[in-house]
Every structure is written in C-alpha cells, then in structure tokens.
Amino acid sequence: MKRYIELFRFPNVWVLVLSAFPARVAYGMVGLAIFFKVSSTESIAVAGLAIGLNAAAGSFTAGIRGSFMDRYGMKWPLRVMVPAYATMMITLNMSHDRNAMLILAFVMGLTAPPINLSVRPLWRDAVTDDWLRTAYAVDTAVMSTAGVIGPVISTTLALSIHPGSPLIVGALCMLTGGGSLAITKIARNWKPEKQPEKKVPMWRHKPLQLLVIEGCFIGFGWGVFDVAVPAFAKIEGVPHRTAWIFTAMGIANIVGGLLAGLVSKKTTPLGGLRKTYFVWFLVSIPLAFTYPDWSMVIGGAAMGLVGGAIQVFYWEVMEAIRPQGSPSGMMGWLWTIEGTLMSIGSASGGWISETYSPTTGLVITSICIGTGFTILTIGRSRLAAANKLPTDAEDLAAMKDNATTTQ
C-alpha cells in the first residue's frame, strides 16, 4: 500500500487516472447501451449483430489509430474522435430504423476515440522507469473498475428510465473524459518518438509476430468464454447469475492487477508473465467442472485475479520489446488481432454452446490459454529484451530521477 501512496506523489498520476476515467466508463457502458436500445424495437439477434458490428469496427481500426498517433501525436485524434463518437451515440439513440441503427453502431466503432492507446504511453512521461510496473497496475485497476461500473450503469438506466438513456449518459461521459484528457498538459505536450531511419515493417518484427500468434488463441478463447458463461446460466434457468460471475471476475481482476504492481523489480517482466500465465492456465481447468452457482463465481474470481496480474506484466513485456517509434501502434495492432479473434470466438461460442454444451466452450477456453502459454514458452527467446533486470547503475539513476520528481 505504501508504494501506491508514494506513486500518487507524482503530480500527473492523479491527472491520468481522473481525466480519462469517465471515458473508460463510457466504453464499459457501450455494449449494453447498444443492446438495450436496439432490442427495445428489434429482436435480440439484431441487437447482438449491432454489438458485433460496433466491436468489429473498433477492433479493425485500432492498429490504424495507434500508427497514426505514433506519427502525428494524440492531439487531433482525441479532439476529432471524442465529439464524433459522442455524436454517433446520440444519433443512435434517436434512430428507430433497423438498418440505420446497424449502420450507426458500425460507424460508432470506426470513430472510437483512442483513450487507452493515449493513456498508456503517457505513463512513461508521468513516472520514472522504476515506477512503471506500479503505474501499469493502477491503470489496469482503473480500466477494470470502469469495466465493472459501466455495465451496471447501463442496466440501471435502461431498466429504470428509458432503453436509450445509457447512450445519452455514455456520450456525456465520453465528452467529459475524452475532452479532459485531451486538454491535460501532459497529453498536449506528448510528442511521438523519433522514427528510426531504417524502419522495419511492424508485421516483420519477430517479437510482435509471437505476440500476435499468442493473441489469436487468447482472443478466440476469451470470446468463447464470454458467450459460454451466460449461455450456461440461461440453459440452467438462472440467467441472473451471469452478473454474479462477471462481477466477481471484475473485482478480482482489480485486486490481481494491484497485487502485481507490488511485485519486486527483481522479477523480470517476461518472468512474471510466464509464471502468472501458467497459473492462469491451471485455474482455468476447473471451470469445466463448475456449475453456474458459487462454484463458477469462485472459479471466475480466480481467473480474474490471475488475469489482472497478467495484464500488468504483459504491458511491461510489450513496452520492452516494441520497435522504436511505436508506443501506440504496436498495442493497437495487437488489439486489432485479439479483438477480431474475440469476435470470431463469440460467434463460435454460441454455436458450440447450442450444438455441444457450454462446458465444451469452457474446455476450449482452457485449451486456448494453455496454447498461449506454450507459444510464449517456446518462443521466449524472441522476447529476450523483456527478460533483463535493471543494472545497479540504472537503479541508481532511476532513484535520482524519482527524488528529483517528487521534491
């Protein structure tokens, strides 16, 4: 706890946490916001299609947004896309035609502001290198918190006020959070890294190739999981328990991320990632033997706890192995791959749950996690840059920088 108190002595930590939080809540709201709006006049299948179109559009273009920011900065993407996205949300709320709602949901995904792609590289300017792991842990916890709060807000508003009200509130949250982030001094002063003279195409970068292959399996497996759990609960006649399971996962994810931020720097990013990844695989196995009751709540919480820790080490690994000049682009393209495969996994998860059983979907998720761990283990030599400990000289320099910053 003391380390987190000390982290918030860096003045820009509060700025990054608070300014972007409303926008992150908006992203947590958007899936259910679209669902409640579209399903109020159309079938659940059409509502699901609208959500899928929105997610697919956002995933497909994440890499493009990241690469653009690496070359031209984050100022204009935030200033243009934040109001555009909010406008699309409000327009969708006013629409009642099925085709129009599907088109608007897709366009809304295309205009999704790069909130997380903007915040992540700013941490390097906000804290010194020896505090990055703790900073990433805080950022992971903030994203997870928004992911827990967002769906609750959407559900409450849609059921108590009007099916379209989550879209209005989400638009206001995006304008508040995205606008606040765009005008912060640290965001306005951020400059893209100098591009190397001989830049290798990102798709030829061997460490990225490895993470892309791993991301295909994790994205697909997680997409199947997201459908298998609610399908299991619905088939058993207890659909309300889905909320219990995912809430437990979300809260545990926050705790796991914060615990990872306290891990000694003597554990390398790659070492921490591989150890937690293996534990993640182990805790995923019992899920296939659970039922949508307290057993799946506990199993889901265990998955969330370890998953939160994995995210922290994953960001560190990615930062260590990325090509120069790509603090946002590499992250964006990985999100494109994982998001695309997650969409495919979600579509497959429904068919698997109906044709075979939701338990089969949970088994597939565990297999995908195990495959991801195997890929990282076999190809760990490609991630060697993330398996180095800081030298004594680097530690001393970091401590001096820290002392200067906190005075």
Distance CA 303, CA 298 (A): 9
Q: Is residue 56 domain-shared with residue 136, that is, in the same domain?
A: yes
Lookup result for tokens 């990844």: 277
Contacts of 140 (CB under 8 A, 6+ apart): 253, 254, 257, 260, 308, 311, 312, 315
pTM for this model (two decimals): 0.81
| Domain stops at, among 148, 168, 192 | 192
Q: Does residue 212 share a domain with residue 184?
A: no
Amino acid code (one letter) for 167: L
Residue 43 has a pLDDT of 78
Same domain, 389 and 308: yes
CATH code for the domain of 242 = 1.20.1250.20
For residue 121, what are its two tokens? 């590289």
Q: Nearest 5°: CA angle at 42, between 39 and 43? A: 80
Which whole-number Å values give the CA distances from 115 to 44, 178, 245, 347, in the listed order? 29, 7, 27, 27
Instruction: Single out the residue in 151, 167, 192 at which a domain terminates.
Output: 192
Q: Are 116 and 143 in contact (CB under 8 A)?
A: yes
Instruction: Say whether both 330 and 347 belong to one domain.
Output: yes
Using CA atoms, how far apart are residues 67 and 327, in angstroms rounded to an integer? 9
Q: What is the pLDDT of residue 264?
A: 66
Residues 349, 328 share a domain? yes
Query: Quick one: 256 and 155 in the same domain?
Result: no
What is the count of structural domains for the chain?
2
| pLDDT for the residue 390 | 54
Do 164 and 283 belong together in one domain? no
Tokens at residue 318, please? 């990615």
3-state secondary structure of 189: coil
pLDDT, residue 27, reads: 92
Q: What is the pLDDT of residue 336?
A: 85
Q: Which domain holds residue 395?
A: 201-407
Taking only Cα atoms into account, the Rg of the chain, rounded to an integer number of angstroms, comes to 21
Contact 226, 351 (CB under 8 A): no
Tell me: do 134 and 235 sit in the same domain.
no
Tokens of 197: 């003279």
Q: How far separated are the first and last CA of the chain, in Å rounded?
A: 21
Each of the 407 residues of the chain gets a pLDDT tens digit; together they read 788 889 999 989 999 999 999 999 999 889 888 888 988 888 767 887 888 888 888 888 888 888 888 888 888 889 999 999 999 999 999 999 999 999 999 999 999 998 988 898 899 889 888 888 889 889 988 988 898 888 888 888 888 889 899 999 999 999 999 999 999 999 888 887 777 767 667 677 888 889 999 999 999 998 888 888 888 887 888 877 887 888 888 899 999 988 888 876 778 889 999 999 999 999 999 998 998 889 999 999 999 999 999 988 998 898 888 877 777 777 788 888 888 888 888 778 878 888 888 899 999 999 999 999 999 999 988 888 888 765 544 444 444 443 443 33
User: CA-CA distance, 346 to 48, in Å (whole number)?
Assistant: 10
d(CA 250, CA 254): 7
What was the pLDDT predicted at 21? Answer: 95
- 192, 210, 234 - which closes a domain: 192
The answer to whether residues 20 and 99 belong to one domain is: yes
Q: What six digits make up the tokens of 307?
A: 């998953």
DSSP state of 364: H
Tokens of 141: 């916890």
Q: Is residue 355 a contact partner of residue 311, using CB atoms and an 8 Å limit?
A: no
Do 41 and 180 fall within a single domain? yes
Same domain, residue pair 184 and 213: no
Tell me: do 206 and 166 sit in the same domain: no
